[in-house]
Amino acid sequence: MLLRYSQLPKKFINVSNTLTTRGGDVKGLKCEQDLFCGINRPKSSKPEEMSDLEKKHTPVIEISGKPEKGEPFEVTVKVGEHLKHPNEHGHFIQWIELYSGDTFLGRADFASERANPKAVFTVKLDHIHPLKALGHCNLHGTWEATKEI
């Protein structure tokens, strides 16, 4: 059985990222100081109140039209919309996932330098829940945004 990143137990995500990305001991860091501990969320949903780090990493969710139950509609998710995110071998957005509430809808993976962190999903929902997007930066962890529909 293949598990998506978001389905892994938190202890495996943190250990894996700490060892492979940071390459060392992070003792003494509190969870809220460690970008790889859990999911990062901006302190404000207003771009003018976000830090540069938050602007570069927080996904932006756009919906075409007004979604209706059982009808397909497009959802675009971009990372680096408020402030361009680097896209180089050592620093890039690895993937974007889209959820309706906690229900997985899709995932897009990106290569460094050759891809733009933008994904367009065509989805059809039987139950309308807030949309949630996760974007993962290889240096700054997983970031979340939500949008009511």
Residue 2 has pLDDT above 70, yes or no: no
The closest alpha carbon to 94, from 63, 132, 50, 140, belongs to 140
Which domain does 142 fall in, by range?
40-147
On whether residue 7 sits in a domain, the answer given is no
Residue 65, pLDDT score: 83
| Residue pLDDT, tens place only, 25-52 | 455 677 777 777 889 999 999 999 999 9
Average pLDDT (13-23) is 39
Residue 20 confidence (pLDDT):
37
pLDDT, tens digit, 9 for 90 and up, residues 114-134: 888 999 999 999 998 999 999
Q: What is the structure's pLDDT at 53?
A: 95
Burial class (CB in 10 A: 0-12, 13-18, 19+), 4: exposed
Residues 147/73, Cβ–Cβ less than 8 Å: no
Neighbours of 20 (CB within 10 A): 10
What pLDDT digit, counting tens, does each position of 48-70 carry? 999 999 999 999 999 988 888 89
- Let me know if residue 2 belongs to a domain: no
Would you say residue 128 lies in a domain? yes
Strands 103-109 and 141-147: unpaired
Which CATH number is 88's domain given? 2.60.40.730
**Which whole number is the average pLDDT over 84-104?**
95
What is the reported pLDDT for 80? 94
- CA dist 113 and 116 (Å) reads 8
Position 13 in a domain: no
Average pLDDT of 70-97? 95
